[in-house]
Structure 1
Amino acid sequence: MTNKPKLRALIVDDESLARTNIRYSLQEFDHWQVVGEVNRGDQVIQSVQTNTPDVVFLDIKMPGLDGLTVCQQLQSLDSPPFIVFVTAYDVHAVEAFELCALDYLLKPFDDVRFHKTIQRVEQLMFNNQQQTQQVAQLKAVADDHLKKLDTLIVRSVGRIQLIDVDKINWLSTAGNYVELHLDDQVILHRVSLSHLEKHLPVNDFIRVHRTAMIRLSLVSEFLTLADGQYAAVLKTGDKVNVSQTYKEKLLLQLGIE
């Protein structure tokens, strides 16, 4: 049990003895930490924002605001804590669970019942933490993969080509395909330009038109054409249209004011 991360608890009850009972009960669990105690319902939100508890042990009948109202307010926070109601009144149990209470302890409770509450809280808390960590790890792996994308797999009838991203000079749309413009050939890839925009190295390629992306390092000229249109000339000799929508971003990337 000692290898578990600390769980932070806030105790809310207008009776000093009730707060003491919960505090002493939590002391049996070395991975629990009481970060605050409050005796009025209208002080809970501020205490939660200050002490950032994982769990609030919350009485229902209190001065200021009752516990059910406090619970509703807590649910509006970006990261609300879990709620365990601790009360002498069982008439509010259904409403409490409808407000997403994790458990409902009736006073006076014994050690066995309190241990069940702790087990329920820990099971949910640690499962949530593991799921959050797994999602974060998967996202990190995916982000890292996208940042390091260096090869495109292009499939065609009877053929699979591995295209080195470093060899792509620019890209343009062609119906349901994207044309990959290399030095010596143009390769059709069945994918959207928007999809590639999300996956290609952001420091290497820039969107210049709804139909085109170019390698930034290959730009040799920026042209203002007679008809009010714009174009980028690449070192390969290719001239790619630049729309008004993307002009400013391109000029900024080129260091042109």
Structure 2
Amino acid sequence: MLRALAVDDEKPLLEELLYLLRSDPRVSSAEGASDATEALRRITRALESGPEGPDGIDVVFLDIQMAGLTGLDIARLLAGFARPPLIVFVTAHEGFAVQAFDLKAIDYVLKPVRPERLAEAVRRARAQLGGPPPPADPATDPTLTDPAAVAAPAAGPVAAPGPRGAAPEMGATDRTPDHIAVELGGITRFVAIADIAHVEAQGDYARLHTDGASHLVRIPLSTLEERWAARGFVRIHRRHLVALGRIDELRLDSGTTSVRVGSAELQVSRRHARELRDLLMRRATG
């Protein structure tokens, strides 16, 4: 059974999160903290008590944007301990995913929190701790009987339950060669490569930009450059890969070169500028 601490500085959201955790039969206790100071005091007591002590905490469900210290700050502090509790980030913002998983978070749950999505985070925490699975209880854990419970919203691309981790690499999880699998919060979505306008490097990750959204994949930009060269993607900068056919403008200004791709203006490095101009010229002249 899991002992949980939920941390959120918005009281209604904290109460909802505690209600959902306490309703899960795999959670033996769930306490709340409404700010970083209270959370650190409670976690420090748990660490002093030890994993098997009366004040122990197995997993912290942690908001990111809070007054004072952020959830990321708390996670960095916990990383210095030998046996810290597991971390599940619960946030309304997708953009912190890279930092969250760099801090060894086991899951990243987006608000508003769906009961079935939180149930998946609890399952991951139990698996990480090596606990035996509890008896199936469809009333409290829809993921036990309903695979569609973790499917993506109807408005998005086709989705299916995904593997663990921040975002899968390309290859075995691609639905077809024309798609790339991306995952966030246990949901695997298949994004058409033809819909991707440009890609931005973020460390060992890459952010795929389509017309109306962005998606994070755990794969280096250099790998995408190699795999997608035949699809018309060209490297224009150490941080940017662009679909040649999606470039709307090439701009030269005081010796610097940039391109406009939709609403984004991207810098072109000096080493790539001449090659890009030649490619665009050849494309324009057929």
Under a length normalisation based on structure 1, what TM-score does the superposition of the two structures give? 0.45
Larger Rg, first or second structure (1 or 2) = 1
Under a length normalisation based on structure 2, what TM-score does the superposition of the two structures give? 0.41
